[in-house]
Amino acid sequence: MSYEFVVLPAGAVASPGDVAAYVFTQQGIPVDAQLQRLVVGGLQVWNARLPAIYRHAKVDIEAAGNIVRVLPADRYDRRWTRSKAVDSSATAVLCFLADLTVGRYLLYDAEENELWA
């Protein structure tokens, strides 16, 4: 199982079940400038500031149109280490994303199938 979070505009979807279809509609569209600056830029800072010992906690970022998909390492993707830090990196990434997006975007957590404003 992999962790996945999706940042999308407020009002873009009515329920968690609509997220996959909305993400599909954004493929091939250049990423929104504000989303690029705020969310993608923030996540790039996240990756850049991680000490070498926590390199397994880096996130993969996929951005297109009005969405950003964030893929943190999960407990089965230990990337060079057997550290428990991998198990908790998704929680830390989720908190970081919530801080970045609060009041601006929706945040979807695929593992929990939850959508937050």
Domain ranges of the chain: 5-116
Pair 102, 10: CB distance under 8 Å: no
* CA-based nearest residue to 7, from 112, 116, 105, 99: 105
Q: What is the pLDDT of residue 58?
A: 87
Q: CA-to-CA distance for 36 and 112, rounded, in angstroms?
A: 25
Fill in the amino acid letter for 101. T
108: helix, strand or coil: strand
Q: What is the pLDDT of residue 56?
A: 75
Q: What is the pLDDT of residue 1?
A: 44
Q: For 106, left (φ over 0), alpha (ψ -120 to 50), or beta? A: beta
Q: Please list the ranges in the chain whose pLDDT falls under 50.
A: 1, 76, 80, 85
Q: Can you give the pTM of this predicted structure?
A: 0.86
Q: CA-to-CA distance for 32 and 107, rounded, in angstroms?
A: 16
Q: What is the pLDDT of residue 74?
A: 61
